[in-house]
A and B are shown apart, each in its own frame.
Chain A
Amino acid sequence: MPMAGSEQNKLSKPLWLLAELTYRCPLQCPYCSNPLEIARYDNELSTEDWIRVMRQARAMGATQLGFSGGEPLVRKDLEELIAEARHLGYYTNLITSGVGMDEDRVKAFKVAGLDHIQISFQASNEELNNFLGGTKTFQHKTHMAHIVKKYEYPMVLNIVLHRKNIDQIRDILDMTIDLHADYVELASTQYYGWSRINVDQLLPTRAQLDHAEQVAREYQQKMKGKMKVIYVIPDYFENRPKACMNGWGAIFLTIAPNGTALPCHAAGQLPGLEFPNVRDHSIEWIWNDSPDFNKFRGFDWMVEPCRSCPEKIKDFGGCRCQAYMLTGDARNADPVCDKSPYHKQLHDDVERIGKLADNKEFNEKPLIFRNMKNSKKIITERQAETSELS
């Protein structure tokens, strides 16, 4: 039986398929947006599973395909998956830390038809880069960036900005120029996953942001037509939320390493949702008919203030994960919005962290690095908490 809202579903297409091939990763970035429970995802999809997913999504109109993770290079079948994706007509993006790459592999990707490579850097200097990534990778990354350009790929360099590296923004941009990046993404840390538990150490101050924005603007002008600099202010400092994922189940489809299908890569944390698995269901059913993909589609699910707000068609009430994390109910307005009754609380929290940022002791609180050991520890702690409650 057709479900309510399926009219709209027929119109929306999963244009963007994000294939999180694995959560294994040689790095340990404390701002990683992967779930805290990465250690639970060891039951990875097989090559055949991924090929089936890619075929089905492509038939529904998907054009952009991101191979991501964790570190996608860990998967030995990456070359095979790229070749199949390209054969299906996808524009194929490899989103990588560059660790696990060498010239032979870059060459093999080219043969397989890979369209674009994005390499992430943790910082512009070796010491901080290696510290933040929890491993020595800086030299290797810069070498790989040269190889990527040697093979004439369009290259995106991605740097996640936060309190510990944002003041180096000028050096970071100079580095990306030296490496001949075509695009630079200065991504603001999004505070879910690992960055949420490290937010006190990572959230930049207002003054830092103002400086960063000014420098980013300067380089946008200076590099016009040569290198595109994309800089987005972190939404914690705004009064209106971002149109997260362009709306729930509107264009984005993420598949986690174990086959869980998600409307965004952070949605796995939302309670009360099961999220269908591609081992059990077709992409068509998942996208069009599964209850979870319909849950926050359109506007009928909204509560006040969003329900009667004229801006809902612009921002869809913001990010569901952020609403859940900060208010306890995913249907609420994203507290970034100043119409949300929780906005003040968020704002006060940002202020509090901003004031403490100069405090040496506070600032030097150790970061919790993203690795399997810490993940297992967090899983055990949470289990203990829930069994105490019940």
Chain B
Amino acid sequence: MSTRLSKLGRLIDRTKQVSFSFNGTTMRGFAGDTLASALLANDQMMMGRSFKYHRPRGVVASGAEEPNALVGLGEGSRFEPNQRATTTELFEGLSAKSQNHWPNLDFDIGAVNTAFARFLPAGFYYKMFIHPQPFWKHVYEPFIRKSAGLGKAPDAETRDADTYEHFYAFTDVLIIGGGVAGLQAAKAAALTGVKVLLVEQTAHWGGRAPVDGGTIDEGPVDKFVEQIVSELETMDNVTMRLRCMGAGIYDHGYALAYERLTDHAPQVAGPRHRLWRIRAKQIVTATGAIERPLSFAGNDVPGVMLASAMRDYVVNWGVTPGERVVVATNNDDAYRTAITLKNAGVDVLRILDARASGGGALADEVRALGIRVDPGKAIAKVSGGKRVKKVSICNQEGIGGARDEVSCDAVAMSGGWSPVVHLWSHCGGKLIWDDAQAHFRPDPDRPPLGADGAGFVSVAGAANGALALGETLSDANAAGLAAAKAAGGKAKRPKAPLGESAAELPMEPVWLMPANADTPLRVKSWLDFQNDVKVSDVQLAAREGYESVEHTKRYTTLGMATDQGKLSNINGLAILADALNAEIPQVGTTTFRPPYTPISMGAIGGEARGEVFQPIRRTPLHDWHDRNGADWEPVGHWRRPYAYQLPGESVEAAVNREVKNTRENLGLLDASTLGKLIVKGPDAGRFLDMMYTNMMSTLKPGKCRYGLMCSENGFLIDDGVVARIDEDTWLCHTTTGGAERIHAHMEEWLQTEWWDWKVYVANVTEQYAQVAVVGPNARKVLEKLGGMDVSKEALPFMEWRDGQIGGFDCRAYRISFSGELSYEIAVAASRGQAFWDALTEAGKEFGVMPYGTECLHILRAEKGFIMIGDETDGTVIPQDLGLHWALSKKKEDYLGKRAQQRSHMADPDRWKLVGLETVDGSVLPDGAYAVGEGTNANGQRNMIGRVTSTYYSANLDRGIAMGLVKHGPDRMGEVIEIPGTDGKSYKAKIVDPVFFDKDGEKQNV
């Protein structure tokens, strides 16, 4: 069993008991425990089940690389799945649930998958996709759906109760990793005077060196750590953060760090996570190394653990994962685990050293402690279901026969160490294969490059392959100094402290144990513990022709689990290389992508949620609308009233009332959101002739013209009324959503193509409040307010005048988007509310009512006016919409003119705008497609058009619609079929798109 020892535990405080729950059972641990160490102390070795076969899984590591011990943490609005027990600090009241099982961890129905393991080999999903659809749908999909997904997603209805923030930081040198290497690198850098930021992902400085032993400057490692930390803390140019993981390194010295502020102390106020957005001149990754598992049959049975992790649990938390332990290794380092266990009073039954020559000085020390060492031996198989029961022993060189057996309850394994090269690799740092240590490490000659073409990332300590304590410290000292110099630090030569540790003999790579394991053993030798990828799966992929490591990864899912292959990727690569008869460096690695370990979505979002996710733009009349029943609709970043509901009135009824009232009496529309761009200068006319398809340079001051804008591709991008203000000034109205976009479009052409033209563009959209006064009584209300002459003669259609109305300085445009007598009147934004109030008051006797965007849409559709974004979608040209009249034939050039001459644009088969009238008067579904004769190559009905705008018109008491239809204008009167997604098929007659007042008599008054 796993249990708490009576001594050891450098990180726990035995005077402070902490209670927590696991799967509803209350357990106890100590302050300083991780969830994993506390579970082990409670003899809870099994912590989850694997993804594919639902096999029992115990904790295998002690840090961020843990693939198995994933739990759902917290409850309700604070529930979070897939949290690693090894990096979760214990706190009072912590509640954890294990994952991937039903009905419970101990007894799981899904575990029958194991029995079907031979039917679920590498590429299972891909292979199944080739089967006929019904088979897939009825046999496999239900099964896969049920077992898909790792952990439970939080309830969709809950909202994360915590807050998060972003933090911007600038530094000369960023050091990622606060082990002895990171600390020494920080000191070496800081002594030169540069600004240093040091981040460490765990809650403690010093990394794993204090566990591994040895001495620094002839004293214990813990003492060194304490001293250097207090030294760094006194330096003004050093910032240090614990629980802060270097998550990713990006272009030009950009780095992200993920600080967990309250995960360990939920009662503390403030943000839960902080995302550091860092710009550093130089970055040093001191990210250490991760031990590799060994691939032997049954290496996934709970109780089999990394040798270093076992050592961590004993030394750091005073917990032993077992009482009778077998150690399997290919290197000297694992002997440290045997010594640690023995000194803690745990039985170490056997050390199986795959090397024929056995170990060095540490092996001698082990033998002196009375532990049996078997050189050249290997684990043939570990037996046990939910817990290790027995180890079968064989020769490493062989297929796994000639067995000797030892019964035990835990196995410590060590396959050597892999430097954590992730952060080095994120931004393009390249790796080299180190034959002696059988691992990839950063190639110092090929670092990630900055803007100046020089490297901006370097590596320190074990992350650089400098594994022995002495090398680690001298390497880190040099790396810190070099980074500081590159960041502009003054040359200093701090002396590296002297690290001493036991001399070690070289490791020997062991990719499979035993070396020639037979098939029954290989199908039980796990590479990826979480995703259930075995040695046999990778070999099968190779036999099926997979050569690229990236393809093999996706085919087998090796390294695609939440640990992203931190433990076993190298083992998998080696198996693949062997199967392909290639060298490991030739096969290469998969791509390392940020973040190093998962970071919360909350941290990525930071403060940008709820109301501050995106600022809302409000017109000067916004509050009035809000008080008067506005049903809001988002339009661009604006909010516009869709309709104004009277008490007890439905939105639909409100729209119909507004539609009728505006045509019969008087409607007011807040048109302030319309874009208003001033285009001014000696070349402004020439410029607008290029921007618009129409001729704008010939417009006379005082007059307005409706204009179309196309992209250079020929497609319609915006429309609006242009007014010429004076000789060299035009005011261009854009769509509500288009002001910023069209302003940028104009600037782009002015700055990058016609930079010698003398034109200024200014966006004055928000300087004005603009009110559309619409309906048969429009002139009456303006005349009642008094001021400028708004008669037919003094202010004809498509003209504008400056003047006063009701005492307000204003500019009145006689323009109409409704077909009614209509004035759009602009006043200073600050006068908008007062002017609106005056209109509302004066309009009472004329039946004034405000109307919203839906009424606006219906009125324009009744008149067959197009709307950018409805009739256009980025693939529509003016010719499609019958707008030839707005395309100047006199101009040699305008944006889009040449494109509109291309063969496809001139194709007579293009869908063209028509009106659509349902035979029964019903309303067509929006966006529905019209079907024609015959079928296409896929056996689907040919499509001949689509609905672009569709409404119920209260004025006509029927559905009206516009659509784009193949040969539409030539098919007037024809009835076409339009199936809806509601199962009904609609019949609509092709008609003229102008449904109401075809002769324009209502606005010509």
Same assembly: no
- Chain A positions near chain B (C-beta within 8 angstroms): none
